[in-house]
Amino acid sequence: MSSRREFLGMSAAMVAAGAFGRPAMAGAARAAEPRSILMLGGTGFLGPQAVEAAVRRGHKVTLFNRGKTRPGLFPDLEKLHGDREKGDLKSLKGRKFDAVVDTSANVPRWVKQAAEVLGPDLGKYIYISSVSVYSDMSKPGADEAAPVATIADPTVEKIDGQTYGALKALSEKAAEAAYPGKAAVVRPGLIVGPEDPSDRFTYWPVRVARGGEVLAPGSPEDPIQLIDVRDLGEFLVRLIEDRTTGVFNALGPKDTLTMGRTLAACKEASASDATFTWADAAFLETQGVQPWSDMPAWVPDGGETAGFSRVSNARAIKAGLTFRPIADTAKATLDWFKTLPPERRAKLRAGISPDREAKVLAAWKARAARP
């Protein structure tokens, strides 16, 4: 990672990204106490998984959004339209809900305006933040009490690598101020799985499925952290049902996940003939191969990113966050990717290109062959 700013820029760039297709809702055990839940957003990547998890449990879900991203999604659910960026929340006036899940706010004004319209009687407000709020990712084991980023002008609403984390942190504070004792702040890391529009994990199962020699970053023992979007959606519903409040780092798995184990799971998912050539971080830097973008999900295990993949998730696990096996995530992601149109499959949005990968592999071999 050349800088924290670069990573935050990549995160901010995905804020408005869309997604594709949906599987049918599956059955599940019903909640003992059905709730009325408002989803602020609900048609992107995380939102639909939270909606499905809630519906499976028997909750009544209402969606509020602009009606522009996949408007035909969830035809049987109530939909209210408005534009938070323009302050248009008229369709929410006079409505009462047991809980709100806010997946769309990236600036504090949006949270404050929603709270003003929804009123103080709301039972629970869940705000989806990000581990990008932390100001220092160099120390392994950071928990929810670690310092967060700040910004000189809190009225700024331009989202980029300099402002993203700080604006998320201010939005957290806005939620907690509006609903003291009723707010839950969820800070995911890298969200992955079916329908991920960013390809920040999808690259790996797709590339490994193609087979052959695969350029792998760093060491097989380098840690990574991520969260399957389905696990995160279920966690949000669990927080509502259990009336849990507080701040939670939502990323996993429970035990250390390594890059080697991840790529092995991708190979298992596709039964490919892939082999892995591990090139160290210093060499990749000389080749201009960037962590996180060219080598998705991975950053060097040291220096300013030493804590990036070692964030504490103990509090979220205690609150009920569970994790499916990484092989499940890899297979589900690959299966979903195969359903996309050919033109979309031909253009991965993250990861090194095949031609450039081949050149870097050749350079690695030439380096190893020198006396």
Distance, in Å, from the CA atom of 358 to the CA atom of 287, rounded to the nearest integer, reads 12
Q: Is 275 helix (H, G, I), strand (E, B) or coil?
A: strand
What averages of pLDDT result for each successive group of 10 residues across the chain (371 residues)? Answer: 47 41 51 96 96 98 96 96 97 97 97 97 97 95 97 95 96 98 98 97 98 98 98 98 98 96 98 98 97 97 93 98 98 98 97 98 89 66
Q: What phi and psi values does residue 257 have, to the nearest 5 degrees?
A: -105, 125
Q: What phi and psi values does residue 78 have, to the nearest 5 degrees?
A: -70, 135
pLDDT tens-digit profile of 152-175? Answer: 999 999 999 999 999 999 999 999
Domains of the chain, by residue range, sit at 4-365
What is the reported pLDDT for 1? 40
Q: From 151, 172, 195, select the one nearest 21 (Cα to Cα).
A: 195
What is the reported pLDDT for 368? 73
The CATH architecture that domain 4-365 belongs to is 3-Layer(aba) Sandwich (3.40)
Q: From 229, 108, 117, select the one nearest 172 (Cα to Cα).
A: 108
What is the model's pTM?
A: 0.92
First-residue to last-residue Cα distance in the chain: 30
